[in-house]
Amino acid sequence: MTRFSANLGFLWNEFSLPDAVRAAKKAGFDAVECHWPYETPAADVAAALKETGLTMLGLNTTRGNPGENGLSALPGREVEAHAAIDQALAYAKEIGTPNIHVMAGFASGPEAHATFVENLRYACDTAGEAGITILIEPLNRYDAPGYFLETSAQASVIIEEVDRPNLKLMFDCYHLQIMEGDLTRLIIERLPITGHVQFASVPERTEPDCGEINYAHIFAHLESLGYDAPLGAEYKPKGTTDEGLGWMSTL
């Protein structure tokens, strides 16, 4: 049976993070995840997770300065990138989060690639001591023009070069359908390096029961391949979150 994780960056984001955790539990989600929880005391989130029995599966490193979208592929910003990684690790340890998405940022070229690789090695080596997995996520060029990491092929090369067992791909069906398509075959190819799967409709990025992706097929396909971790619902609700949850009983 497919299990789902509520991404609280988009779902119930009108609530405080602890109350959003509680709302996700009430709605029947099996886990939660978030983007940038740092304005909320970790102890408050930990208390809500304990109360509900849910796990916060993942969180992101900070975006950086206004207008930025991560730091780890930016040459000359290594000190800040390491600080962002340390911040995420400290928060993840306090709330029991097993995955951290290290954001690359807006950059391009060989120097950015080398910078990202070295910062990821730092992240993996530091996170490995706590049993935490580092994730990297390709973002599509329409929503995040200029973002360093755009495709799963590029991510695969980086994962091989970094050469750490706790570096995995965040397979976001929304972004990868836009950039690469052929999701059925792409899932088979990338599943061995995948640490987490997310989904949303394409092109709207709303509930998964509309648009060009047949998620009933995708979810069944993942299950047939033995993937049984909760799938991340990272979509922007058309109305209120609760009004749009009908897909959970139909897909």
SS3 187: helix
- Of 33, 137, 150, 207, which one is the catalytic site residue? 137
E strand or H helix at 17, and its extent? helix 17-27
Q: SS3 helix, strand, coil % of the chain, rounded to 5? A: 40, 15, 45
Answer yes or no: are the C-beta atoms of 74 and 109 closer than 8 Å: no
Answer yes or no: are the C-beta atoms of 196 and 151 closer than 8 Å: no
In whole angstroms, give the CA distance from residue 43 to residue 156: 36
**C-beta atoms surrounding 232 within 10 Å:** 24
Q: For residue 78, which phi and psi values (nearest 5 degrees)?
A: -60, -40
- Of 80, 129, 234, 243, which one is the catalytic site residue? 234
E strand or H helix at 199, and its extent? strand 194-199
* Structure token pair of residue 8: 């609280």
Is 137 annotated as catalytic? yes
Write out the catalytic residue numbers: 137, 234
